[in-house]
Structure 1
């Protein structure tokens, strides 16, 4: 998806299209309540069959509708093609570039971005994996109600993501802030503000509805990640944005998986408010540490290894309908 964004989306519209990549948030939002009903009525097995079939439909749709570049799309209009080409300009190389492995894996900006993404996914996976468990066991809701309430934070993330993507694209177009400052400001909203609400979840756990409101606002403000860790790969190196995102998402997913083990260990013998206070506090702390590191050492500046080298091979870009000029 990030490879497509790099090649399809004009720079001043990227945040809105990056927002589209958090469609998984919408999937989670409808899966929690729907699977709660399915499990309660026909059994847990059918919840897996239903989601599997839906995933297959999406996969087949993607296969037939997705094309690597605007130049290769068989149905794109000439006006849209020219607009995209003019907007992107020379940001994306037309040469087959060698992946600068050593430079990327020794890059401080990439390392800090990976760290920021660890915080992002840690705060995202905790509610995703253990939100329904928290609402059922600690707050006392039944499975259907817990499923419905667990969907609220993801609805908030989706809605807040729209808002932040519009703001980020507006500020990027106006160039009122440097790209680095813009990303750092968005990290405040995507990491530090959610951390505050996660801490509050533990503090006000005795009031279930306030706790759910805090959890909802925490994940809602995380929607600002469309302007921080999700957008930063395109700042550093648009030619390698997809691979950089694959690296940061892969590493962050591994660390975020640990959050599930930690939460499971903490609640293995007892799943009360005290145990969950530790879990939410830990999630908030990870948010804070990763955001502070990005504030100190993160950047939105283009990296020199993004540019083509003399040994790179030109690629002939042709359009299936001969619409390119």
Structure 2
């Protein structure tokens, strides 16, 4: 995420050249002049970087850099779920996340060495990052009782905490020390995280060395009817033909479209259209993500309470969360589209859109686990393989619409398209979606599983009885 704010310091300001737009087309010319008497001073991105420290990329190239991380992000979603199913979240997520961190350290070198090398690094970051999200659902399925999943999945908004800290911190770092330092600082912090991850994280209650027996027993008994640690045969055909799952995927598409738009484009939008300096851009880009964390935790408590008290069915609770999330984002996007040069209105609607997006933790994200706790990581992998295409589709659309056309009219088109993307799939989910446990969550035993049974019986020294009762065993 750090490059989304650092790119402001990386790229030369194209607004003052001969191809710059008419003053009436931009908001910042008037507002910055009133605020500081000099738009150039007000918009300075760094105290130390010079023109030679920056690159001359147009809007299309900038969005290629921002979106390249998603080019192969989809490719490793399903493999990420499969590998997690086999090796566990601790290994898969830890290795994938830290690989992204190490690649980030190479970005300053690649920026001036070769534009294509930078794109390759960004693509490899996304390829590695594709293993991360599916790994999360495996640990949810192994640890969390069904009626408490919304609260736990709200912890996924840790990515919002990272963004909320990264944007203002990196904005200040760019201003004080230059944009290169952003990538070195995040590399150090990523190393600290890796040490904590391997010391404190465990894939299941049975593997945790410090859990109390009472807590372990409560969790395992709560999950006994829906989740097993045994490696089951994956029912691929049933999964890919499941209508409830595809409805969740379409909903996830719209939700991630708006989130990825906010993550990759908010700093550029606030800096370019509204003329805020790098520090204020970082702060205002980060604040909505703090609200997203609070919204996720607060709403998940309410929705889990509705489940525990049985006021509504599981499907009804999930649909309510998805509807508020998607329709609320759609309305906020429409508000941003018509906010024009009113920076306050634009910021308010952006805060609403990002904050309300977090309700997906009690909506479609929890529904993937509801449908199949045993294969939750694989389901989320398939869903992300489709929906993360928004990660480069949204920046590409912005690049095409705003290339040489950084105006409120161009951004209005961006926000209206986003509103349609998030609302239309929710309509289908409201009519046809479900969050009930699917029959294929527990595949019937096949020949391989029967062989496992035989092996266990042999270990118990009952091989003779096994042979004598072969007919009964087959039955």
- TM-score grouping bracket, smaller chain normalisation: over 0.9
The TM-score, its normalising length taken from structure 2, stands at 0.64
Structure 1 residue runs of 4 or more that deviate by more than 3 Å after TM superposition: 312-315
Bigger relative CO (Cα 8 Å, ≥ 6 apart): 1
Partner of 1:245: 380
Partner of 2:264: 129
Partner of 1:260: 395
The TM-score, its normalising length taken from structure 1, stands at 0.93
Partner of 2:150: 15
1:258-297 counterparts in 2 under 5 A?
258-297=393-432
> Which of 135, 145, 169 is equivalent to 1:34?
169
- CA apart distance, 1:50: 1.2
What is the distance in 2 between the residues matched to 1:159 and 1:94?
33
1:309 and 2:452 are equivalent in the alignment = no
Task: Please report the RMSD computed on the Cα atoms of aligned residues, expressed in angstroms.
Answer: 1.6
1:210 and 2:342 are equivalent in the alignment = no
> Which of 426, 434, 437 is equivalent to 1:299?
434
- CA apart distance, 1:251: 1.9
SS in structure 2 at match of 1:53: helix
**Contact (CA 8 Å) 2:371, 2:437: kept in 1 or not?**
yes
Deviations 1:101-159 (A, max 9, x none): 11111111111111111111111010110001111111111111111111121111111
Aligned residues: 316
- The 1:127–1:94 alpha-carbon spacing in structure 2 relative to 1, beyond 3 Å, is closer
What is the distance in 2 between the residues matched to 1:263 and 1:153?
21
- CA apart distance, 1:175: 1.5
What is the distance in 1 between the residues matched to 2:225 and 2:312?
22
1:109 and 2:244 are equivalent in the alignment = yes
- CA apart distance, 1:218: 1.1
Partner of 2:198: 63
SS in structure 1 at match of 2:389: helix
- CA apart distance, 1:94: 4.4
**Contact (CA 8 Å) 1:95, 1:308: kept in 2 or not?**
no
Flag structure 2 segments of 5+ consecutive residues without an equivalent.
1-135, 454-475
**Contact (CA 8 Å) 1:179, 1:300: kept in 2 or not?**
yes
> Which of 267, 278, 296 is equivalent to 1:161?
296
Flag structure 1 segments of 5+ consecutive residues without an equivalent.
316-325
